[in-house]
């Protein structure tokens, strides 16, 4: 009789809270009671239903946990990607700033170069004028 009470108590629990061992023991108790002459087809049906519900709830819990892990991994991946993207954007901004500064320096150097070229041209013109003037002056002296 204790087997029967224990079996009924086990089968009254929520399917997800029954362990595999408890189901195995319940199956053995049911088999012993049936061999002893008890007609327990209704209890056999109940055991099958509980076993099935436990399997499906375990599968659902397992799938939910799997999805939760996937979501967790994807969140970590997104976070890493955001950090990487932020780092890349930061590097791009730094490089753009360097390019802007170098362009400004280049323009300054071009202006200096143009100013020097103008001065060199002016000096060459002055030298040319002096040489020309010197030639005229020397020819008048003769």
96 is written with which tokens? Answer: 């753009």
131 is written with which tokens? Answer: 């040489």
Nearest to 42 by CA among 24, 30, 56: 30
Q: Which H helix or E strand runs over 60?
A: helix 41-141
Arithmetic mean of pLDDT, 62-81: 86
Q: Look at residue 100 in the predicted model and tell me its pLDDT.
A: 94
Q: Residue 99: is its pLDDT beyond 90?
A: yes
For 15, 54, 81, 112, 116, the CA distances from 123, given in Å and listed in that order, are 103, 101, 61, 16, 10
Residue 99 located in a structural domain: yes
Q: Residue 98: is its pLDDT beyond 90?
A: yes
Q: Residue 72: is its pLDDT beyond 90?
A: yes
d(Cα 85, Cα 77) in Å, to the nearest integer?
12
Q: Look at residue 60 in the predicted model and tell me its pLDDT.
A: 64
Residue 13: DSSP 8-state: S
Residue 91 located in a structural domain: yes
Q: Look at residue 59 in the predicted model and tell me its pLDDT.
A: 64
Q: Residue 142: is its pLDDT beyond 80?
A: no
Residue 132 located in a structural domain: no
Predicted confidence (pLDDT) per residue in 29-64, tens digit: 989 888 989 898 988 998 888 888 877 776 666 777
Q: Look at residue 105 in the predicted model and tell me its pLDDT.
A: 93
Arithmetic mean of pLDDT, 12-35: 86
Mean pLDDT of all residues belonging to the chain: 86
d(Cα 110, Cα 142) in Å, to the nearest integer?
47
Residue 137 located in a structural domain: no
Site of tokens 């390019």? 99
Range of the domain at 51: 2-125
* CB-CB neighbours of 50 under 10 Å: 20
What domain count does the chain have? 1
Question: What is the band of 127 on the pLDDT scale with cuts at 50, 70, 90?
Answer: very high
């Amino acid at each position: 009789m204790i087997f029967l009470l224990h079996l009924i108590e086990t089968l009254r629990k929520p399917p997800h809270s029954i362990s595999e061992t408890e189901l195995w023991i319940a199956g053995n108790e049911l088999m012993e009671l049936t061999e002893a002459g008890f007609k327990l087809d209704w209890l056999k049906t109940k055991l099958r239903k509980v076993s099935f519900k436990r399997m499906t709830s375990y599968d659902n819990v397992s799938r939910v946990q799997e999805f939760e892990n996937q979501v967790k991994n994807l969140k970590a991946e997104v976070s890493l990607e955001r950090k990487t993207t932020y780092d890349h954007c930061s590097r791009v901004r730094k490089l753009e700033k360097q390019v802007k500064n170098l362009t400004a320096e280049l323009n300054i150097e071009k202006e200096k170069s143009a100013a020097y070229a103008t001065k060199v041209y002016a000096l060459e013109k002055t030298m040319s004028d002096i040489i020309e003037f010197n030639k005229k002056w020397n020819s008048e002296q003769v």
